[in-house]
Amino acid sequence: MRREFYNEERNQQIRLFKEGFFGDAKNGGHWTFFDKKGNKISIVTDMDFILRPEDSSANIYSEIRQSSQDYFIHHNISWWRQEEDGYCPPGHLVSSQIHCLNHLFVFRKDAKAVKMIIEEATGMQFDKVLPSLIDGDEQSYISFEFALDNDKLLGENDEGSKRGSLCTSIDVMIVAQEGENKWLIPIEWKYTETYLGTDKTNKKRIDRYANLIKTSERLRVPDDGIAHSIYFIEPSYELMRQTLLCEQLVRKGYANDFFHINVIPMKHTELRGAVESDFMQMLNDKAKFKIIDPKDFLAPIEEKNLYPELIDYLKKRYW
């Protein structure tokens, strides 16, 4: 993929930094390059689009700056680039993890707002949203970096795996009630990601996912076989695994069905096009999968003039 959208957004964030949007935070963070085997090649310092680790919390909307970090610590969730930067939020100004938190974390305990958002996005009417399946908090209606029984359900048993690291983690999970039916609303959140079309097929992944794909009700088996198929090339690889996890959760009785949402900015036409032309063509039921722009996702909040400070922040920074 070309990186036109990434470059545009990165330049926008650098401009905001120069204008003082991030307060006293300093840039000049580092970036580590790895080879295909995960070996460290080099480190580039003084990157103007990366905040220094000690200032990286300035990347988060001020109203959720402490609470979101407390949430990650309490639930032992990995930050993106954690191994490089230490246990602190990513300072990369176009991080999708930060982009997601800045849009949604403020609503985590607001059941009415969460219900409003997912009803508009799915086109469904729900009776209520339900507490998180994994957070252990009756007032937590949004789970971030969701993972549940991945070792048993997907065979993901890598040493050190946890929410956000070394397993299929869904960026956002919401559970809602419709009559007697429980719905999972898994949300994959993208911002500026670009992919090189690398084939991720290997024996371990085939052993884990091939049989689940063959028995999936949502996914079609590729005509040329599963190995080296679109399912092992991003962005389909991640969406495939999320689909399988949700299917297994439904089979285990955690819910009756699921509606999969992929948040991608409207201007990121390359990524949206890749999802539409590759992954969506492998779905048996496209009606339960939707790509939506982050601004459109929060349109019900803006239209009712709720959380005006957050909306103003998002408009200045991202929209």
Question: pLDDT tens digits, residue range 142-167?
Answer: 999 999 999 999 999 999 999 999 99
Average pLDDT over residues 213-229: 98
More confident residue, 309 or 83: 309
Q: How many CA atoms lie within 13 A of 41 on its CB side?
A: 8
Which range among 2-16, 34-48, 142-156, 160-174 shows the weakest confidence by mean pLDDT?
34-48
pLDDT at 1 over 60: no
CB atoms within 10 A of CB 180: 7
Per the prediction, the chain carries an average pLDDT of 95
pLDDT of residue 38: 67
The full set of domain ranges for the chain reads 61-88+95-317
Of the pLDDT bands very low, low, confident and very high (cuts 50, 70, 90), residue 74 is very high
Question: pLDDT tens digits, residue range 302-311?
Answer: 999 999 999 9
> Which amino acid is located at 5 in the chain?
F
- Which is it for the CA torsion 198, 9, 277, 283, positive or negative? positive
Instruction: Tell me, rounded to whole angstroms, the distance of Cα 37 from its chain centroid.
Output: 24
- Put residue 184 in one of left, alpha, beta given phi > 0 → left and psi -120 to 50 → alpha: beta
Unique residue bearing structure tokens 């070309």: 2
pLDDT of residue 301: 98
For 187, the enclosing helix (H) or strand (E) is: strand 181-189
Q: Which residues pair with 170 in a beta bridge?
A: 146
Query: Which residues neighbour 77 within 8 Å (Cβ) at sequence distance 6 or greater?
Result: 71, 144, 145, 162, 163, 164
Share of residues in the chain with pLDDT > 70 (%): 97
CB atoms within 10 A of CB 302: 17
pLDDT of residue 45: 83
pLDDT of residue 46: 85
pLDDT of residue 37: 66
Average pLDDT over residues 41-67: 92
Query: Among 222, 223, 247, which residue's Cα sits nearest to residue 231?
Result: 222
pLDDT at 194 over 90: yes
pLDDT of residue 85: 67
pLDDT of residue 269: 97
pLDDT of residue 119: 98
pTM attached to this predicted model: 0.96
Instruction: Tell me, rounded to whole angstroms, the distance of Cα 245 from its chain centroid.
Output: 15
Of the pLDDT bands very low, low, confident and very high (cuts 50, 70, 90), residue 39 is confident
pLDDT of residue 203: 97
pLDDT of residue 169: 97
Of the pLDDT bands very low, low, confident and very high (cuts 50, 70, 90), residue 36 is low
CB atoms within 10 A of CB 246: 25
Distances (CA, A) of 129 to 107, 112, 115, 185, 319: 12, 8, 6, 10, 27
Average pLDDT over residues 45-68: 95
Peptide bond into 131 cis (omega under 30): no
C-beta of residue 82 within 8 angstroms of C-beta of residue 74: no
pLDDT at 69 over 70: yes
Question: pLDDT tens digits, residue range 253-303?
Answer: 999 999 999 999 999 999 999 999 999 999 999 999 999 999 999 999 999
